[in-house]
Amino acid sequence: RWLRHPERAVVTLAMAAGPPPPLEPSPLPTFTEEGFTEKFLRKTRENPLVPLGCLCTVGVLAYGIICFKKGNTRRSQLMMRARVLFQGLTIVSVVGGMVATTIKSRQ
């Protein structure tokens, strides 16, 4: 009889062991409110090249505008090209930070 219905044997043996012990509720995680300054500092520590790239981009842009107003067109054009370069480096660092975060979260 046991050989014909082995699944019944497992259920019968499991029921013979008694009910399982009650599970203890796991504590819920607590989250703290993070303000703008705390979030900015945390993100800057995680990927410091992004704010550095932004500062360089703004600095080169401002210097390029000053040169343009003074009539130094050659220097102004050079600064606008440098601005594009720094913008590109900033985007590369943003993407690199996202890839690093993704790889870190998978491990």
> What is the arithmetic mean of pLDDT over 78-106?
92
CA distances from 67 to 6, 21, 32, 48 (A): 87, 77, 47, 29
- 104 to each of 69, 70, 88, 107, how far by Cα in Å? 47, 49, 24, 5
pLDDT at 14 over 60: no
Domain ranges of the chain: 47-106
Phi/psi of residue 17, each to 5°?
-75, -15
Does the predicted model carry a pTM greater than 0.75?
no
pLDDT(15) > 90:
no
Residue 8 has pLDDT above 60, yes or no: no
